[in-house]
Chain A
């Protein structure tokens, strides 16, 4: 998928663990893990808002668009 989730990068920058973030955004560890590993198919605005608030960042810091190799051609 051309949308890359940079949650792990932001977490490293803010020096925050997955457990801590899970508590702050009120999401289960498994759901956060799905998001972090890029397996998620969709993200709710409320979740994005909570993550941005917890990490003090913008949605663009977490989500990135990288075109597929096929699309580039």
Chain B
């Protein structure tokens, strides 16, 4: 592998770790807020203030938990996606001598599936928030709810799925090439 490629992969590895930790904190923040809103709503104002859903909590607890649940799912799924990236970079499965391997194909398939789920939940979460807005609830923007970019996630999912299919063919060709005497 070229030194430049190795350097880029190392940088991506570090970046993935930073994003993963950030996403875990975000998911943890959402979950903690939801738990405290259930147990002791008075404490919520002293907790993580990145997303202000106090208007929704005052409007209806059920809707608050539904929206928080979607946000938690999206945050956890995004964390899972970055965990997959970390895992593939950590285990050094990107072998340029044998680029088409089953580990990488499995990674692309899983990433595609996770992207699809993130896209679907984000899309639903945004529409849910919009519906709540029409009910007169003071809601933050989808960007602040960490639910923006559903279409991008869905697009990424489709692209990754196509790449996974091409990879599958690539594995067949590579295996055949290796078994040609």
Q: Do they bind each other?
A: yes
Measured CB to CB, the residues of A under 8 A from B are 27, 31-32, 34-35, 39-44, 47
Q: How many residues of B contact A (CB 8 A)?
A: 5
A64 to B175, CA, bound (A): 23
CB contacts under 8 Å to A, within B2-25, are none
Residues of B within 8 A of A32 (CB): 181
Q: Looking at chain B's contact residues, is the secondary structure mostly helix, strand, loop, or mixed? A: mixed
Residues of A within 8 A of B176 (CB): 41-42
**10 A–B contacts, CB within 8 A, in A order:** A34-B179, A39-B179, A40-B180, A40-B181, A41-B175, A41-B176, A41-B180, A42-B179, A42-B180, A42-B181
Residue on B with the closest CB to A33?
A: B181
Residues of A within 8 A of B175 (CB): 41
A32 to B179, CA, bound (A): 11
Q: Which of B175, B176, B180, B181 lies at the interface centre, i.e. has the most chain A CB atoms within 10 A of its CB?
A: B181
Residues of A within 8 A of B179 (CB): 34, 39-42
* Interface 0/1 of B166-181, CB less than 8 Å to A: 0000000001100111
